[in-house]
Structure 1
Amino acid sequence: MNYLLALPEQTEEIITLFKNTFSDAEGKEEGGVIATLVSDFLSVPSIEDDLHVFVAMDNARIVGSIILSRMHFPNGENVFLLSPVAVATDYHGQGIGQTLINVGLETLKAKGVAVVVTYGDINFYSKVGFAPINESLIQAPLTLSYPEGWIAQPLQSDVIKPMNGKPRCSSALNNPNYW
């Protein structure tokens, strides 16, 4: 298995991976919603280092992918958001998602990113070092429908310092339906 930064020519395969994975797990409608989100991420030009897309390759097939996007804070804190994550259904249970996330986190840590947040299943993300936070520490860009799913991991120290102000997320995620 190879873990790499995605290439532009892999865009359609990445979108298909997310669509199929989420369709298998949560139904065709959710697969379509997530495919649209990923397409939005990959079709909008971003400032260099504001978007990182990683893939897991088994031979020539993409079997996993993660997207990490910069959150913009009023004071310029260096924070990224991990979302979404997909591993092909027939590759579940092999640690591919966890390895992909760790590769992404190590890359961001080397670039000086202070914190990575995500919004999801604490049982899964705790396996790679994420822990619950509340919005007094880091506000979410939009209203959370499931506040217990707001979780984070510091990359440059052992603690997360409170961050002032409401951040902006990537335009792809700037939709209340995702939150």
Structure 2
Amino acid sequence: MKMTSDPTEDAADIVALFQMTFTRSEGAAEGAAIAGLVSDMLAQVAASDILVLSAHEGDRLIGAVIFTRMDYPQDPRQVFILSPMAVAPDRQGQGVGLALLQEGLARLRARGVDVVLTYGDIGFYGRGGFAPVPQECAAAPLPLTYPEGWLGQDLTGSGPVTLTGPSRCVAPLEKPAFW
């Protein structure tokens, strides 16, 4: 498996992977919504505020993950959020997602990022070092439908995630449907 971090090479394939993966697991409307989110992120988010990793097997795209900057104006630390991630359905459960997650965290750590948040399944993300984060310890930018899915990891090793004040995410994520 080869990983790349230049989404301009295969942006259309990345969008298609997210659409196909989420359509199969959540239905056509969710597949279209996530594909739109990914397309908007790739087109609108500044390079300094996004990390896109793609996993390839030969010429085939088998997985991708997107991390974007979050802003906690009252907190000096650098924070990113992992959202979304997709692995081709026929490659799920084979370590592709965990490999993308680990590589992404390593690259963010090397860039000086202090904290990474995500909104998802603790069963999966817990294997990558994420733990539940109470809202009073790190405010989400919008109300959460499933607060138990708000997860974080301190990349500095200084303990549980605690961030000061309200937060903002990149514009494409600022839709209540994603929260």
Return the TM-score normalized by structure 1. 0.96
Partner Cα distance (1:162, 1:153) in 2:
10
Task: Show the 5 A alignment for 1:157-176.
Answer: 157-160=157-160, 162-176=162-176
Contact 1:115 1:160 in 2 (8 A): no
Percent identity for Structure 1 against Structure 2: 43
Partner Cα distance (1:34, 1:162) in 2:
28
Aligned match of 2:109: 109
Q: CA deviation at 1:167?
A: 1.1
Aligned match of 2:16: 16
What stretches of structure 1 of length at least 5 have no aligned partner?
A: none
SS of 1:177's partner is: helix
Aligned match of 2:140: 140
Partner Cα distance (2:161, 2:117) in 1:
13
SS of 1:164's partner is: coil
Runs of 4+ in structure 1 displaced over 3 angstroms? none
- Letter paired with 1:38: V
Q: Does 1:53 align with 2:52?
A: yes
Aligned match of 1:121: 121
Partner Cα distance (2:34, 2:94) in 1:
23
Contact 1:134 1:150 in 2 (8 A): yes
Q: CA deviation at 1:84?
A: 0.3
Q: Over residues 148-170 of structure 1, what are the superposed CA-to-partner deviations in whole Å (9 max), with x where a residue is unaligned?
A: 00000110124135322111101
Aligned match of 2:6: 6
Partner Cα distance (2:45, 2:131) in 1:
31
Contact 1:73 1:168 in 2 (8 A): yes
SS of 1:118's partner is: strand
Task: Show the 5 A alignment for 1:68-87.
Answer: 68-75=67-74, 76-87=76-87
- Letter paired with 1:70: R
Q: Over residues 50-105 of structure 1, what are the superposed CA-to-partner deviations in whole Å (9 max), with x where a residue is unaligned?
A: 10000001111111000000001113321100000000011111100000010000
Contact 1:115 1:152 in 2 (8 A): yes
Partner Cα distance (1:164, 1:2) in 2:
37
- Letter paired with 1:49: S
Contact 2:45 2:170 in 1 (8 A): no
- Letter paired with 2:48: D
Contact 2:154 2:161 in 1 (8 A): no
Q: CA-atom RMSD, angstroms?
A: 1.1
- Letter paired with 2:25: A
SS of 1:8's partner is: coil
